[in-house]
Structure 1
């Protein structure tokens, strides 16, 4: 009996996989010996089909770049948070604890060449000197204060060396020691500059920076409320508003609720360093949170 090609083709898969019986194999072999079409189909079954190779690696590169950016942002966040903690710790350890006037803390030595020498005791970690011309322009008036720090008390003692007050030969009319509790200055050397009391007040410059940051924060907040539906402007304002937030938070960490300082320069640089680190940390954290929120599946009702 002659078997049609359709029947043979139904048998070919079993034959190609060596799963057919001996009788079936003999029927298939007898047929393909005289049928080129069925023989060709058998050969195609036995030849593994090669899948086309996709040479486009753009998607893979995009995934790698995304992972690299996320890793870098996480590293930046960790480094900046660590830097903030380190700066705050150092600011606390080196914060001046002002020393009230006593004759043992500082002594004044006048040398033969006209220079005036400041001699500090072991308890003094640092000092500040303000110079101003005398009212009659006969010389200069100096206001001095001293302090100690936790760093010098507990960790590394810094013994101050004798310091020349007027290294360029300026005429020293008088030297006052000012306390930081609002009490009047104490005359240590020379003649009094007035008949009444003299008081050295802290500087208010940090207060101006705080007010500027608050005003800038309010302006950015108003801008966010106005342009909340404009994604491009909103994203830009979200980054900008972190600047005054970082500064105000840094001021709070360094100064607390105070905005006056006898060492405004030192305190401002410490605040600025913390603010920059905080800003970088907040930007990195914002980007990470946005990516995480975008990856969350949206719930459907």
Structure 2
């Protein structure tokens, strides 16, 4: 009669065997014999008249094949989760960025009401996607900034995974400190607004001062246009002896000096800039000899 041990007894015996071996066999003699249970299910499978039991096999034609899901290549999944949307400030720049990446701009509806309010609606799903919003806050700064904030809010409410605000021209960047009493620091205020709207990351170009990156409570990517300008100047047939780098004010001397060093240590000139009123500035180049040479003016903002 075929016998089978109960699963509980077998597990206990397997767990206890190393302990019994270390105890020199004393534990085996003192341990009671495991319980034996007769498996009546095996009675029907016993040999009949000396012949082995016959086990029925189902017809394979009745089996339904199961197709396992095939996931796309990880790189393809990443591509489909990337979205680039453009505001109305510089649509051509956004189109060039998307074309360079081999992507198409996301569909978005932006319109303005008669009272000047801005309406934004995404025309495609961004759930779980990495979204990049290209919107410089150039003049009109207030209108373009508000449009960017509403775009960020729309993406956040549409369950986007990550939202990156790409701001080639960051409006209010010059208001990064208090030059007089009772002034606001508008750059910090704008940074707070972008963060509270729902942006997870910001990409800016050539800030007025690098300390403005600290105004954000989210990661900031600060890229520079210097390599592009250097490549452009290198493509021109300009004699190095006729090239001068000019800093527009004392605050830009360090940046202009680094720029001149890349141009084979070109001479450096500094502008004496004085403000006589709102949006009124007077400048005079310190070294007049440089006026007769070709000047590459490196401004505080590009």
| Structure whose residues are more often helix by fraction | 1
Shared fold by TM > 0.5? no
TM-score by length of 2: 0.19
| Structure whose residues are more often strand by fraction | 2
**Greater relative contact order, per chain length (Cα 8 Å cut-off, separation 6+):** 1
